[in-house]
């Protein structure tokens, strides 16, 4: 650590100081976060990095300084190129891992680090950053972005894009960091615990099959540890076992929850039964899962006059509506909920959702269904 660099902290301008304080708060309190320091050349990004590195190292903590290019790395104290430090492969694809093992010195250094800085990241291909993300999640045993580390990326998207040999404009654009899944995961991670955010956003579609596809994608990207609940399915008066369990599990009649219900803390769900209308638990009520046990889910209502009320959802026996033309009486014991990152347009009728995405892989099929979808949102 250079004492001169430690004195830089007192000379930071207002914007640099704001960034410095925010980043150091996460470092000191061991809070996972990904930051991007954006600014044209000569606006003091490296100045900020030097102050951060000096402060973290003065506390006896490990701060790793890297950059995409060698000349940028040489300016930072203890700087190395990202490819050298993280052992990123030269030939990149969408599922690469860094070339170090869990038992290596590089893995141990990364595990013990409290801050990782990567400058001029806008010049590198998105696959390089995504490779580091996968590797850090692996060595840290954590599904959060970059294994829960405090990451500081810096650069200027106005400058040169990554070089793609003989690449088309589309290929060059696809290689840029701005096309990475990381932005979406950061957005989810930052808003995943906010009931206000979840109640104000939803994706609407026409059919349950489209909604199920979207919810499956979103729950996999949602931060946190996943818990899976399986239903108990049965048929009344089936003494000869005409309907195997696997067949019953594969069915999801309208109005019933799925056999396999994936949940994570703070994920949004929608209620499928009128459990307690007086206290806001109606068919169509949106909730956020706050905690869960084996046979009970602790949830928070996120809309209407009962917003912020904490409720318990039990696992109950459910049967499809009488008008479902099944040749047997089907029963499913499961929590009466579905994921509600996305929901069918019919379920959204009567709700006001400020920000609505409408997913139409095929034309709407019901009279005025599109009108209902478009009229739900403010924007």
CA distances from 35 to 112, 139, 195 (A): 19, 21, 23
Q: How many helices (H) and strands (E) does the chain have?
A: 14, 18
Q: What are phi and psi of 291, to 5 degrees?
A: -160, 165
Q: How far is CA 217 from CA 49, 129, 156, 220, in A?
A: 36, 21, 31, 5
pLDDT of 94 over the 90 cut: no
Please report which confidence band the pLDDT of residue 233 belongs to, taking 50, 70 and 90 as the band edges: confident
Q: Where are the alpha helices (DSSP H) in the chain?
A: 3-6, 14-28, 45-58, 70-75, 82-86, 105-112, 126-140, 169-175, 182-191, 195-199, 208-221, 245-249, 345-348, 369-374
- Reported as a pLDDT band with limits 50, 70 and 90, residue 314 is very high
Q: What is the mean pLDDT of residues 154-168?
A: 85
pLDDT of 27 above 90: yes
User: How much is the average pLDDT of 255-265?
Assistant: 90
- Please answer whether residues 184 and 130 qualify as being in contact, where contact means their C-beta atoms are separated by less than 8 angstroms: no
Predicted confidence (pLDDT) per residue in 126-143, tens digit: 999 999 999 999 999 988
Whole-model pTM?
0.68
> Does residue 303 have a pLDDT over 90?
no
CA angle centred on 231, ends 248 and 349, rounded to 5°: 95
| Percentage with pLDDT > 70 across the chain | 97
Quick check: 188 and 182 in contact, CB under 8 A? Answer: no
3-class state of residue 262 by DSSP: strand
Rounded to an integer, the average pLDDT of 339-359 is 84
* pLDDT at 153 exceeding the cut of 90: yes
Q: Which of 10-14, 167-171, 196-200 is the most confident on average? A: 10-14
Report CA-CA distances (Å) from 287 to 195, 283, 284, 332.
8, 11, 10, 22
Q: Has residue 324 got a pLDDT over 70?
A: no
Reported as type and span, the H/E element at residue 344 is: strand 342-344
Domains and CATH numbers, the chain: 3-191 (3.40.50.300), 195-374 (no CATH)
DSSP 314: E
Tell me, what DSSP letter sits at residue 162? P
What pLDDT shows up at residue 103?
94
- The band of 378, judged by pLDDT with boundaries at 50, 70 and 90, is confident
The pLDDT of residue 375 is 82
Mean pLDDT, rounded, for 294-317: 89
Q: What is the pLDDT of residue 322?
A: 67
**Between the CA atoms of 18, 21, 24 and 30, what dihedral angle is there, to the nearest 10 degrees?**
-100
pLDDT, residue 243, reads 79
* pLDDT greater than 70 at residue 323: no
Q: In what order do the strands lie in the sheet with 113-119?
A: 33-38, 150-155, 113-119, 62-67, 80-81
pLDDT (0 to 100) of residue 53: 95
């Amino acid at each position: 650590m250079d004492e001169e660099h430690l004195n830089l902290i007192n000379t930071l301008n207002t914007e640099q100081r704001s960034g410095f304080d925010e980043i150091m708060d996460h470092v000191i309190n061991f809070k996972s976060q990904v930051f991007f320091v954006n600014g044209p050349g000569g606006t003091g990004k490296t100045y900020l990095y030097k102050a951060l590195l000096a402060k973290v190292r003065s506390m006896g903590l490990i701060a790793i300084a890297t950059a995409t290019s060698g000349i940028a790395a040489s300016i930072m104290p203890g700087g190395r190129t990202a490819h050298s430090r993280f052992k990123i492969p030269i030939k990149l694809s969408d599922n690469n891992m860094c070339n170090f093992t869990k038992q290596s010195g590089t893995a141990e250094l990364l595990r013990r680090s409290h801050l990782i800085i990567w400058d001029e990241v806008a010049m590198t291909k998105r696959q390089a950053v995504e490779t580091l993300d996968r590797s850090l999640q692996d060595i840290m045993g954590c599904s959060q972005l970059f294994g829960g580390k405090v990451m500081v990326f810096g650069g200027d998207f106005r400058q040169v894009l990554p070089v793609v040999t003989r690449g088309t404009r589309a290929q060059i654009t696809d290689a840029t960091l701005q096309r990475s899944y990381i932005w979406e995961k950061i957005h989810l991670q930052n808003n995943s615990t906010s009931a206000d955010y979840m109640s104000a956003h939803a994706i609407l579609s026409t059919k349950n099959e489209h909604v199920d596809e979207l919810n499956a994608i979103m729950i996999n990207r949602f931060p946190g540890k996943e818990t899976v609940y399986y239903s108990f399915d049965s048929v009344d008066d089936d003494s000869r076992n005409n309907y195997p369990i696997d067949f019953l599990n594969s069915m999801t009649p309208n109005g019933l929850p799925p056999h396999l219900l994936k949940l994570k803390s703070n994920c949004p769900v929608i209620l499928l039964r009128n459990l307690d209308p007086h206290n806001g638990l109606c068919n169509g009520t949106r909730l956020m899962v706050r905690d869960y046990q084996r046979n009970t889910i602790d949830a928070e209502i996120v809309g209407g006059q009962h917003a912020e009320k904490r409720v318990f959802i039990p696992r109950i026996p459910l049967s499809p509506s009488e008008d479902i033309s099944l040749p047997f009486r089907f029963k499913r014991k499961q929590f009466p909920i579905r994921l509600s990152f996305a929901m069918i347009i019919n379920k959204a009728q009567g709700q006001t959702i400020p920000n609505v995405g409408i997913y139409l892989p095929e034309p709407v099929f019901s009279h005025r269904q599109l009108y209902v979808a478009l009229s739900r949102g403010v924007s």
